């Protein structure tokens, strides 16, 4: 069932619940709808030979520093001897599996897949830091036989670029990258892998080379229900990814606005404000996780207040930011004023509450997107102007 069909079904539940006066049921239906789309599992297998950079890739993909306590162990020797899972720090339904390299096990390619329980993985990343070997090709063939997707990732490209620049008189980065990519592709074709998808990346500089192209390819080839899960979990390695994240969150705002309208249906003073505050707080926290932005610092900057150490995101802070908006304040006052008008008061209050929430969430989404884009441009050395 598509998003629009599910939304229409959700609206029908709301209509019936309103007719029966069951406000709690409405809130529950909306909550179920939103959470369903956020809990879709995504399991990514990462394999390759010893020392190829598997664990560093697992960390880079999750936006985790190699020195972090939740990082996959890295080192010059094989540190992965058994299957290990690493959940995304913000999205536990997204899991990267660090697999022992096929060359480090006693299993053949087909038995290796049985050993690691391949069925639970959505796709495979096969990593090498030099050239792809026969074991990699055999593994890819077995994965293909199992009707799973696989992608070849050539790591440590930043090191290659440095070495090439030192040794070549007329160094050209694009030509060098094309040559490495062609070499990898032709090598795999000789091993009977037709039209292999090869991506050249640096685990320490994901803003460069093919990391974004890899992410774009994964997004395109995943089933629709997993595409949004992948995008929201990705690090902010480009302006395009930031914009795609914004588009996904913007689509959720209409559902939050519906929930706000439900809260406005309760003829008790202050109920709508309390409901809207909770909805907005949850959405702002979501923006923090998606864009990797310090929300407390951002919101304090909007009201030009210093940030105290240990300060947390609260409804009070959010309302202080929104209180500076004449439009938002006017909508809230109008909503509370119309709530007790006979017959038409509740429907009008519901509409105003929905508009106010939509306006507030869009405002915060725009601010988080801008902050993420500025941070991204700073990371790639383009300054802080968006």
User: Is the per-residue pLDDT at 271 higher than 50?
Assistant: no
What token pair was written down for 179? 């040559």
Is-above-0.85 flag for pTM? no
In this structure, the chain runs to a length of: 386
180-194, 237-251, 269-283, 343-357, range with the lowest pLDDT: 343-357
Q: What does the pLDDT read at residue 257?
A: 80
Query: Can you say how many angstroms the Cα of residue 174 is from the centroid of all Cα atoms in its chain?
Result: 29
Whether the CB-CB separation of 276 and 263 falls below 8 Å is answered with yes
Domain with CATH 3.40.50.300 in the chain: 42-233
Detail the DSSP E strand segments found in the chain: 42-48, 84-87, 94-98, 123-128, 149-154, 198-200
Q: What does the pLDDT read at residue 169?
A: 81
Q: What does the pLDDT read at residue 196?
A: 92
User: Is the per-residue pLDDT at 15 higher than 70?
Assistant: no
List the one residue out of 181, 44, 46, 53 whose CA is nearest residue 102. Answer: 46
Q: What does the pLDDT read at residue 324?
A: 73
Query: Can you say how many angstroms the Cα of residue 247 is from the centroid of all Cα atoms in its chain?
Result: 12
pLDDT band at 99 (very low <50, low <70, confident <90, very high): confident
| Mean pLDDT within 244-249 | 94
Q: What does the pLDDT read at residue 268?
A: 42
Q: How do residues 341-380 score in pLDDT, each as one tens digit?
A: 544 444 555 666 778 888 889 999 999 999 999 988 887 7
131-140, 210-219, 320-329, range with the lowest pLDDT: 320-329
Whether the CB-CB separation of 70 and 96 falls below 8 Å is answered with no
Q: What does the pLDDT read at residue 279?
A: 85
pLDDT band at 384 (very low <50, low <70, confident <90, very high): very low
User: Is the per-residue pLDDT at 191 higher than 50?
Assistant: yes
Q: What does the pLDDT read at residue 26?
A: 60
Q: How do residues 71-96 score in pLDDT, each as one tens digit?
A: 888 765 555 567 899 999 989 999 99
User: Is the per-residue pLDDT at 383 higher than 50?
Assistant: no
The CATH superfamily holding the domain 42-233 is P-loop containing nucleotide triphosphate hydrolases (3.40.50.300)
Q: How do residues 34-74 score in pLDDT, each as one tens digit?
A: 677 678 899 999 988 777 888 899 999 998 888 888 888 87
Instruction: Supply the angle between the helices 295-302 and 315-322 in degrees, to the nearest 10.
Output: 30
What token pair was written down for 187? 């090598």
| Mean pLDDT within 305-325 | 83
pLDDT band at 386 (very low <50, low <70, confident <90, very high): very low
| Mean pLDDT within 235-256 | 90
**Which of 9-13, 79-83, 262-266, 340-344 is the most confident on average?**
79-83
Going by their DSSP bridges, the two strands 149-154 and 84-87 should be labelled as: unpaired
Q: What does the pLDDT read at residue 291?
A: 94
Q: What is the mean pLDDT of the chain?
A: 80
């Amino acid at each position: 069932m598509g998003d629009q069909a599910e939304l229409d079904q959700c609206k029908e539940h709301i209509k019936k619940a309103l007719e029966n006066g069951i406000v709690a049921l409405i809130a529950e239906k909306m909550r179920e709808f939103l959470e369903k789309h956020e809990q879709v599992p995504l399991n990514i297998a990462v394999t390759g030979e010893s020392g190829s950079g598997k664990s560093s890739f697992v960390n880079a993909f999750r936006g985790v520093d190699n020195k972090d306590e939740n990082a996959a162990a890295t080192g010059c020797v094989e540190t992965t001897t058994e299957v290990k899972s690493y959940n995304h720090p913000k999205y536990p339904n997204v899991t990267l599996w660090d697999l022992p390299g096929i060359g480090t096990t006693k299993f053949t390619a087909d038995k290796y897949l049985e050993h690691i329980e391949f069925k639970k993985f959505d796709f495979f990343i096969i990593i090498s830091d030099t050239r792809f070997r026969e074991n990699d090709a055999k593994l890819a063939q077995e994965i293909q036989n199992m009707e799973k997707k696989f992608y070849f990732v050539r790591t440590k490209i930043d090191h290659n670029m440095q070495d090439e620049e030192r040794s070549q008189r007329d160094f050209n980065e694009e030509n060098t990258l094309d040559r490495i990519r062609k070499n990898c592709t032709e090598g795999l074709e000789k091993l009977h892998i037709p039209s292999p998808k090869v991506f050249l990346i640096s685990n320490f500089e994901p803003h460069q080379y093919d990391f974004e192209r890899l992410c774009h390819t994964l997004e395109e080839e995943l089933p629709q229900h997993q595409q949004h899960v992948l995008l929201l979990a990705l690090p902010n390695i480009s302006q395009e990814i930031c914009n795609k994240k914004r588009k996904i969150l913007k689509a959720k705002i209409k559902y939050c606005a519906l929930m706000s309208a439900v809260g406005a249906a309760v003829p008790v003073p202050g109920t709508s404000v309390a409901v809207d505050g909770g909805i907005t707080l949850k959405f702002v926290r979501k923006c923090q996780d998606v864009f990797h932005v310090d929300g407390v610092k951002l919101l304090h900057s909007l009201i030009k207040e210093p940030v105290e150490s240990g300060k947390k995101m609260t409804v009070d802070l959010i309302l202080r930011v929104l209180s500076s908006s004449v439009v938002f304040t006017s909508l809230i006052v109008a909503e509370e004023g119309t709530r007790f008008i006979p017959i038409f008061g509740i429907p009008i209050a519901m509409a105003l509450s929905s508009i106010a929430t939509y306006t507030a969430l869009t405002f915060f989404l725009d601010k988080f997107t801008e902050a993420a884009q500025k941070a991204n441009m700073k990371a790639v050395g383009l300054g802080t102007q968006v």
